[in-house]
Structure formats: C-alpha cells, structure tokens
Amino acid sequence: MGHPLIQSHPRCQTERVSTRLVIIADTHLPKRAKALPPELWSAIDTADVVLHAGDWVDEATLDALEARSQRLIGVYGNNDGPELRSRLPEIARFEIEGVRFAMVHETGASIGRDERMAQTFVDEDVLVFGHSHIPWNSSATNGLRLLNPGSPTDRRRQPHCTFLTAVADAAELREVELHAIDRGRS
C-alpha cells in the first residue's frame, strides 16, 4: 500500500502531464546566420523537448542546444559532416506522452510525400522532417501527420524564417503553431 497522503490527494489521480515541444531544422550555423534568433532561444528555454531535423552544419550548434535544452532529440542532415554524423542518427524514432514520432532530414519530392511517407512510417503518428526550409503541416490518409518547421535562419523562398511549437499530451499532438521570425528580406 502506498503513502496515504498521496493516495488521498485528488490531483494526484486526475492531473495530466503534457510536454511542450520546439521543432526546428536547417539551422545552417554559421553559414546562414551567426546565431539562432532570440525568439527561438526563448522558446527553447521554456520547452520540455527540442526536436532538430538536421542540417546543423556546425557541431557547436549541437553543443549549444544540448547545453540549453531540457531534452534534445536530433538527426543529421545532408549538410552535416562526419563529426555530427557520428553523434546523431539518420532516423530517430521515439515516443512522447503517447505520441509516436519519427524524424528524418529528407523525404524527397513534395509531390506524393504524404502517401510515400505513410508507407515508410507505418507505426508512427508524426513525422518531423526538414531539408526544404519550407514549412509543412499535413496528414496522410492513414493519419500520419507530417511536419516541417522550415528554417529559423534561412527563409528560402518564404516570407519569413520559421520554427514550430506543439504540445504532446494523452497520445495527441496539439497546439501546433508556426512561428515567423522576420530576419529581413536579404
């Protein structure tokens, strides 16, 4: 039998736990920017988990995010050298609050992506990816949700640099929000 005070407290049995996520990719430091934007660091400081879908470019970015994140999950991208590839997987599969994730940098052409990825990631609820620098939020016919946060440092044909935040709770991904960072139109 457990401790009587814990058993008698009503919140101990009904309070749900949710996990705040920051989702980023394609940081390309220091080639595309000298540093991550302050808005992103603020989001990272309040997140429970940070997901990075590759193209870190510099190992110092991985070190900085590891030091500042409560928990960091990442994969390497096509622009990441041997040092980063030795520290990161190509594909990550993990579960947060009952939500089954997969993360990879590159998914191929946008045409047919949803169904192609649904056939590849059959046991996951959410696929996080990068590479294009173009935000993406869609669902395949089997329910797989595909998310690309864009890039917080290189807007590539987009009006703004971007990143995503979301909440994982009770086997659902909620409050998925795209955050725009205006770094100018250079």
Across the chain, mean pLDDT equals 90
DSSP 8-state assignment for residue 87: H
Residue 137: CB atoms within 10 Å: 13
| Distance from C-alpha of 77 to C-alpha of 140, rounded to nearest angstrom | 23
Strand partners, 104: 91
Mean pLDDT score, 20-38: 94
- Among 8-12, 56-60, 124-128, the minimum mean pLDDT is found in 8-12
Strand partners, 91: 104
Is residue 4 over pLDDT 60? Answer: no
User: Band of the pLDDT at 15, cuts 50, 70, 90?
Assistant: low
Domains of the chain with CATH codes? 17-181 (3.60.21.10)
User: Band of the pLDDT at 1, cuts 50, 70, 90?
Assistant: very low
CB burial string 93-106: b at 16+ within 10 A, e below: eeebbebebbbbbe
Q: Provide DSSP, 78-106.
A: TT--HHHHHHS-SEEEEEETTEEEEEES-
**Six-digit token string for 28:** 């390309």
Q: What is the pTM of this model?
A: 0.89
Give residue 156's pLDDT.
Answer: 85
